[in-house]
Chains A and B, each alone.
Chain A
Amino acid sequence: MFFGIEWDTSSQWAFAVSIFPILLHGLVVTLEATVVGFFIALLLGLVLAALKSAPTRFVRWPAKVVTEFIRDTPLLIQLFFLFYVLPEFGLTLPAFLTGALALGVQYSAYTSEVYRGGLEAVAKGQREAARALNLAPARTFTHVILPQAIPRIIPALGNYLVSIMKDVPVLSVVTVLEMLGVAKIIGDRTGGYLIPISMVGGLYLIMTIVASLGVRYLDTHLPKRGLSLK
C-alpha cells in the first residue's frame, strides 16, 4: 500500500493497473519540482547573467567562475550539500524545496548563458544601429534588443525545462517522492521492479515528447524578427 492505494499482484496486468494511480501521485510531484526548479533557475540565472555583464571585472570575473563551478559539478552533490549544509546554518527547508533549489542552482548556470548568448547575438549589430539613430542605451535595450532576443531565448529555456524534468528523479535521494522514487519503493516492497520502472520510463517518454513538441511550436511560432512588447 502506498498513498493509501493497494496494489494487486494477482497478475502483471492487474499490478500495472493498480500501481498506475500511485505513479500518478509521483508524477504530480515530478511536475511540481520541475516547475519550481525552473522558476528558481530563471531567476538565479538572471542574477548570474547580470553579474557576468557587470561594468567592473571584480564582479564579472567571480560570477564567471561561480557559473563554471556550478556547471561542472554534479547535481547530486549540490543537492546533498544543500540538504545537509543549509540546516547547519539554521535554514531547514522541506526536502521538496531543497530539491527544487538544487535544480534551480544547477540550471541557473545554463540559463544565465542562454540570456547572455541571446542578448549578445542581437546586441552586436543592433547596438551600433541604435547608436546611429541616437537612441538612449536603456531605450535601446528595452525597445530594440530585448524584443529580438526573447524569441531566441525562450526555446532554449524550454529545452532546459525538459532537462530539469529528466533530472527530478535525483531528488528521490533526499526522500522527495517523485515518480521514480515511488516506483523504486513499489519495487522494493513487491520485488517487482520491471513493471513500475518501465512504466516510469514510458511516462517520461510521453512527457518529454509533449514538452519537446511544445518547445518546437514556440520555436517556429515566435516571430524571428522580434516580439512587440506593447
Chain B
Amino acid sequence: MEWTSYLAPLSQGAWVTVQLTVYSTILGGLFAFLFGLGKLSHNPLVKGFSVAYIEIFRGTSLLVQLFWIYFALPLIGQAIGIDLRFPPVAAGVAALALNIGAYGAEVVRGAVQAVPKEQYEAATALNFTSRKRLWRITLPQAIPEMMPTFGNLAVQNLKDTALVSLISLGDMAFRAEQIRNFTQDSVTVYTLVLFMYFGMALVVTAIMKLLERYVGRWRAAGR
C-alpha cells in the first residue's frame, strides 16, 4: 500500500488529537489557576483540598489516573447508585486536564508568589480590595512569568493525548496502531505519525509563544 493512503485515516485521528489537546489544555489551565490560587488561600479547607489535588495528580502516573477514571470510577458509581460511566472522550479530557492542571497549579502558585511584595503594598496603600489586588495587580504580572512553563506543559499535554488511544479513543496514535495491524507496514506508519506529532508540537509552541508575547506586551513597550 502507498503511504499516502494512510493520510486519510491518520488525519481523522489527528483531528481527534487536536480536539483532545485543545479541550484538555484549556480545562487544565482552569484547574491550574483554581488550585494554584487555592493553595495560597488562607482558608484551610480550600488550601488543604488544593494541596491534596496537586499532590495526588502529580504524584501518580497519568495512565493510572486515566484507567482509574475510565475503569474504576464506574464501579464506585455502581456502588453508590450514580452512573459514572464516562464516554472515552470525557474520561480522556478529564484525566489529561486534571493531570496537567496539577502541574500548572504549581506554576501558578510559584509565579504569584514571585510578584514582589512591594506591589502588594502599593496596592494596599491605594486601598484595593484583596480580590481586585489579585485580578488587577498580581495576576497581570504573574501570568507572563507562567507562560514559558505553560508552553512546555501544553506540548506535554499534546504528547500525553496519545495515551487515550489505550481506552480505545480514535486519536492519531489509535489510527496508527490500526493501520499497522492491517498493513504490517510499521516503519512508514510510525515515522509518519512521529512527524505529525512533531508538526503539531511546533504549532502548539508557536501559539504559546504568541500568547506569551500578548500577555507580556507591556514588557516590550518601547524596546
Looking at B111-119, B162-170, B215-223, the stretch in contact with chain A turns out to be B162-170
A98 nearest CB across to chain B (Å): 13
Whether A76 contacts B72 in the complex (CB less than 8 A), given A168-B61, A204-B60, A208-B59, comes out as no
Are the CB atoms of A73 and B176 closer together than 8 Å?
no
Contact call A200/B64, Cβ cutoff below 8 A: yes
Does A77 contact B162, Cβ atoms closer than 8 Å? yes
Asked if B63 contacts A204 (CB within 8 A), the reply is: no
Among A48-56, A81-89, A114-122, A222-230, the stretch in contact with B = A81-89
Query: A76-B163, A81-B190, A84-B190 are contacts. A209–B59 as well, Cβ < 8 Å?
Result: yes
Do residues A201 and B159 form an inter-chain contact, with CB atoms below 8 A? no
B93 CB to nearest A CB, Å: 17
B60 and A74 contacting across the interface, CB-CB below 8 Å: no
Q: Is A201's CB under 8 angstroms from B64's CB?
A: yes
B43 to A: closest C-beta gap in Å: 24
Cβ < 8 Å to B, chain A residues 181-212: 183-184, 187, 192-194, 197-198, 200-201, 204-205, 208-209, 212
Residues of B78-101 at the interface with A, using a CB-CB cut-off of 8 Å, are: none
With A75-B159, A193-B75 as known contacts, state yes or no: A201 contacts B60, CB within 8 Å.
yes
Query: Across the interface, do B190 and A173 meet the contact criterion of CB distance under 8 Å?
Result: no
Quick check: B186 and A197 within 8 Å, CB to CB? no
CB distance from A114 to the nearest CB of B (A): 14
**Contacts A197-B67, A204-B59 given; does A81 touch B194 at CB 8 Å:** yes
Q: Indicate whether A201 sits within 8 Å of B190 (C-beta atoms), given known contacts A72-B201, A74-B162, A74-B173.
A: no
Highest count of chain B CB atoms <10 Å: which of A73, A84, A168: A73
In the bound assembly, the distance between CA atoms of A193 and B180 in angstroms comes to 29
* Range for the number of chain B residues in contact with chain A: 35 or more
Q: Are B64 and A204 in contact (CB under 8 A)?
A: yes
On whether the beta carbons of B155 and A169 are closer than 8 Å, the reply is no
For A84, the chain B residues whose CB sits under 8 A away are: 180, 186-187, 190
B120 close to A (CB within 8 Å)? no
Among B131-147, those with CB < 8 Å from A are none
- B83, chain A: closest CB distance, angstroms: 15
**Taking A197-B67, A198-B72 as contacts, is the C-beta distance between A74 and B160 under 8 angstroms?**
yes
Nearest chain B residue, comparing its CB with the CB of A167: B61
Residue of A nearest to B188 (CB): A85
Chain B nearest Cβ from A61, distance in angstroms: 16
Main secondary structure of the interface of B (DSSP, over half): helix
Find chain A residues with CB under 8 A from B65 CB. 201
Q: Given A76-B163, A170-B163, is A187 in contact with B190 using a C-beta cutoff of 8 Å?
A: no
B180 to A204, Cβ gap below 8 A?
no
B68 contacts which of A72, A80, A197 (Cβ < 8 Å)?
A: A197
Among the listed B71, B75, B177, B190, which residue makes an inter-chain contact with A85, where contact means beta carbons less than 8 Å apart? Answer: B190
Cβ of A69 under 8 Å from chain B:
yes
**Interface assignment of A143: CB less than 8 Å from any CB of chain B:** no
B207 interfacial contact with A, CB 8 Å: no
Q: Is the CB of B64 within 8 A of A85?
A: no
* Contact yes or no, B59 A194, CB < 8 A: no
Cα(A183)–Cα(B61), bound, Å: 13
Say yes or no: is A140 at the interface (Cβ < 8 Å to chain B).
Answer: no
Nearest chain B CB to A76 CB, angstrom units:
4
In the complex, what residues of A have CB within 8 A of residue B165's CB?
76
Tell me the bound Cα distance from A180 to B61 in angstroms: 9
Q: How far is the CB of B185 from chain A (nearest CB, A)?
A: 10
The answer, among B76, B159, B163, B197, for a CB contact under 8 Å with A194, is B76
Minimum CB–CB distance for A97 against chain B, Å: 18
Using A76-B163, A84-B180, A193-B75 as known contacts, say yes or no to A169 and B190 having CB atoms under 8 A apart: no
A78:B194 contact, CB within 8 angstroms: yes
- Cβ of B56 under 8 Å from chain A: yes
Note all chain A residues with C-beta closer than 8 A to B197: 72-74, 77
List 20 A-B pairs, Cβ < 8 Å.
Answer: A71-B155, A73-B198, A76-B162, A76-B166, A77-B176, A80-B176, A81-B191, A84-B180, A84-B190, A85-B190, A88-B186, A166-B60, A167-B61, A169-B61, A184-B67, A193-B67, A193-B75, A194-B75, A201-B64, A204-B59
Q: List 6 A-B pairs, minimum CB-CB distance, nearest first.
A: A72-B201, A84-B186, A74-B162, A193-B71, A169-B63, A74-B159
